[in-house]
Amino acid sequence: MAGARERCMYCVDSHGSDIEHFRPKSAYPMHAFVWSNMLLCCAECGRFKGDRFPLSPTGQPSLVDPSAEDPWDHLDFDPDTGNLTARYNIASGTPSAKGECTVQVLQLDRREAMAEGYRRTFLRLAACVRHALSADAIDAESLTATLLQADDHGLMAWCFGPVSARLQPFMDLRRKAPDVWKACKTAAAQWRAQD
């Protein structure tokens, strides 16, 4: 999730200024120089994570690995507060265990400045979609470029995910211009894949 703006791969809010080892060097010295174990990270996330590396009962990492999986599979966003929370799994009736652990370790639900940044990004993305919907015709290429430019927090993938079926103005775009909505969803996925 670092992207072209060199953001922290954990919170995507602050400038990534440090290299953080997903598997801590102290417990996993054999991974110290493994490229996929080195993540661009902000000082705050690095301080919160430190040498913490909780494992599930099966021995798998309990933290979301932003270099290997889509964080939005485990995290959710509250547009009213800007906080990140664990994604709720309707099928199991429980929140994502990885999401809960990641939020708790990195304190993603208790960082006021980060939440405000996410909230402002969401408002910008929503304004871009509202503006496009007010036009006589929507140019998919122009809208996706505008959205990608406005997305400082990797929220586009969240906005054009399942939530777009119930959250305005993304719901209106999905209903009124499904081809444009699909182009936006594809652009968000491609942006994420480039990280």
Each residue's pLDDT, cut to its tens digit, for the chain (195 residues) gives: 344 567 899 998 878 889 999 999 999 999 999 999 999 999 999 999 999 999 999 999 999 999 999 999 999 999 999 999 999 998 899 999 999 999 999 999 999 999 999 999 999 999 999 999 999 999 999 999 999 999 999 999 999 999 999 999 999 999 999 999 999 999 998 876 665
Q: What is this structure's pTM?
A: 0.90
Q: How far apart are CA 41 and CA 12, in angstroms?
A: 9
